[in-house]
Amino acid sequence: MHIQFSQSRPQGARLIAHVVDKGKLPAATNAAMRAGAQAARFKGNAGQTFDGFVEEAGEVARLALAGAGDRNDEARFANLEKAGAALAGKYQSSGDKNLVLDLSESDLSAVEVAHVLLGLRLRNWRYDVYRTKMKDDQKITLEGVTVVGAPHGMEATWADGAALAEGVEFTRELVTEPANILYPESFVERCQERFEGTGAELIVLDEAEMEKLGMGSLLGVGQGSSRDSRILAIRWNGGGSEAPIAFVGKGVTFDTGGISIKPGPGMEDMKWDMGGAGAVAGGMLALVKRKAKANVVGVMGLVENMPDGNAQRPGDVVKSMSGQTIEILNTDAEGRLVLADALHWTQVEFKPSRIVDFATLTGAIIVSLGHEYAGLFSNDDKLSKDLAEAGEAVGDKVWRMPLDKAYDKLIDSPIADMKNIGGKGAGSITAAQFLQRFIADGTPWAHIDIAGMAWSEKQGRTWDKGATGYGVRLIDRLVADTAES
């Protein structure tokens, strides 16, 4: 979506929108619109919309009102995003190509307007690449927004918002793509295309290089696939000589479960088992595009988990890059095996100050938290607090779950250093305990289980059904709050 700024309405504007606080209508609203809004019980609640037609200078235009809720609401920014998203949702396929956001009577600040535009742009995103037979009234027509009467400094403020939107959209694109199109090699290629010319450094490890490094844990997951596995690192040096913050993502581009094969119904959803890697890629793109003043590295472990004659078996023992051995009891507990080597390599290669990993790791976290919060596990109270505050601020919410040595005995193996699953209970916790064994002593680390957040079966604040882009805004806000001066 193209967003531009102007001091006057474009000639022939057919769709004009105002964002209004609860209980307030623009002073110039005519009597018919006021009566209509009252009859429709439009009060300006967050995300509420009303429209009608007005005649100006002999031309008829549609006038839309979007509610931003109470001006003093603690969720002010979220409500402004809802207002923008409501406009996109209502007029996305209306036949209008451009929406005029008229701020001439508004006292919104540049930051507040940026949240409206962010909600509008993100909600207007839809991936129709493979849809060839849509009716005209189903197709997206809304292509741009012209902002009239924007406050001072708006364009510079929106530049950061546009970078963030691009990162979220990139994550949604990656998560939405089918597994015959997006697999480890093509994931890397797509990132190479998107980061070209940005100043970021991309590092790619192929299977021969990973084997030389001893990444038996990650390589074991992908050995049943005809698609080669990859490690992709994206490094951005925007903060001098400081040690980088590292974000590590699970990138299982399709997960059949391997020999421990999943049930057929719903297996198509496993194209988004790379949601953690998608979040890291999009988060890095947002940071790079806005030229964040921080040193950051994003690492993605990319594999496909398939059950052919070369696939690893339950009962196999693999050796990780760290030297620790793992007994494979269930080949469908594969994400932690990928992350084990990715986390260890990240620490050896980049010596980060903090590490946060993102993974669609366990169905158990959905049982615990549903689709409202991601599960947060951490060895560091300060990092946990920073993540919780960042997530609350941008809507990528996390809820801290326990880590305790008492759970370690559940993953102790009689023949190796550990096994890759515990018992029937505490599945998300034992997965996190497993990952913690690959974190060097003294390194602040957090694991975020996003299994319930990467994909949604219902509309959300700024997304339609499908890929949410969860994690990008959390990454961006954490870096802005804790690593940038």
Question: Using one digit for the tens of pLDDT, what is the confidence trace for 177-210?
Answer: 999 999 999 999 999 999 999 999 999 999 999 9
Residue 62 falls in the annotated catalytic set? no
Domain ranges within the chain, ordered by starting residue: 2-149, 163-482
Tokens of 94: 């209306």
Of 390, 345, 398, which Cα lies nearest the Cα of 369? 398
- 262, 293, 400, 461: the catalytic one is 262
pLDDT band, residue 29 (cuts 50/70/90):
confident
Kindly give the residue spans of alpha helices, DSSP state H, lying in 19-98: 31-39, 76-91
pLDDT band, residue 58 (cuts 50/70/90):
confident
Per-residue pLDDT at 386: 98
* CA geometry: angle 416, 301, 271, nearest 5 deg: 105
* Position 57 pLDDT exceeds 80: no
From start to end of 223-330, where are the E strands?
A: 230-237, 245-255, 295-305, 317-319, 325-327
* Position 56 pLDDT exceeds 80: no
What homologous superfamily is domain 163-482 in, according to CATH? Zn peptidases (3.40.630.10)
pLDDT band, residue 225 (cuts 50/70/90):
very high
Kindly give the residue spans of alpha helices, DSSP state H, lying in 92-214: 110-124, 154-176, 184-195, 207-213
Please report, for the chain, how many H helices and E strands are present, in that order.
Answer: 13, 19
Rounded-to-integer distance, Cα 217 and Cα 340, Å: 7
CB 97 within 8 A of CB 62: no
> Strand 325-327 and strand 418-419: pairing?
parallel
Tokens of 142: 């809304």
Per-residue pLDDT at 27: 78
Mean pLDDT of the chain: 96
Strands of the sheet containing 49-56, edge to edge, are: 2-6, 144-148, 98-102, 15-20, 59-67, 49-56
| Domain 2-149 bears CATH identifier 3.40.50.300 | no
Query: How many other CB atoms sit within 10 Å of the CB of residue 190?
Result: 17
When pLDDT is averaged across residues 391-396 and rounded to a whole number, the result is 97
* Position 454 pLDDT exceeds 90: yes
| Beta bridge mates, 190 | none
Per-residue pLDDT at 28: 73
**Which helix H or strand E contains 67, and what residues bound it?**
strand 59-67
Per-residue pLDDT at 189: 98
Residue 336 falls in the annotated catalytic set? yes
Rounded-to-integer distance, Cα 21 and Cα 26, Å: 10
Find the farthest-apart pair of alpha carbons in the chain and give their distance in angstroms, rounded.
84
CB 472 within 8 A of CB 164: yes
How far apart, in Å, are the Cα atoms of 271 and each of 128, 149, 175, 176, 307? 17, 44, 7, 8, 16
> pLDDT for 66-93, tens place per residue?
999 999 999 999 999 999 999 999 999 9
Tokens of 180: 């015959």
Of 419, 251, 269, which Cα lies nearest the Cα of 335? 251
Rounded-to-integer distance, Cα 296 and Cα 479, Å: 8
Instruction: Find where tokens 């051995």 sit.
Output: 325
Residue 107 in 3-state DSSP? coil
CB 117 within 8 A of CB 84: yes
Contacts of 405 (CB under 8 A, 6+ apart): none
323: phi then psi, degrees, rounded to nearest 5: 95, -15
> pLDDT for 250-293, tens place per residue?
999 999 999 999 999 999 999 999 999 999 999 999 999 999 99
Report the amino acid identity of residue 69: G
pLDDT band, residue 160 (cuts 50/70/90):
very high
pLDDT band, residue 30 (cuts 50/70/90):
confident
pTM listed for this prediction: 0.97
Report the amino acid identity of residue 186: S
- 172, 336, 437, 477: the catalytic one is 336
| Beta bridge mates, 297 | 235, 246
Rounded-to-integer distance, Cα 181 and Cα 298, Å: 22
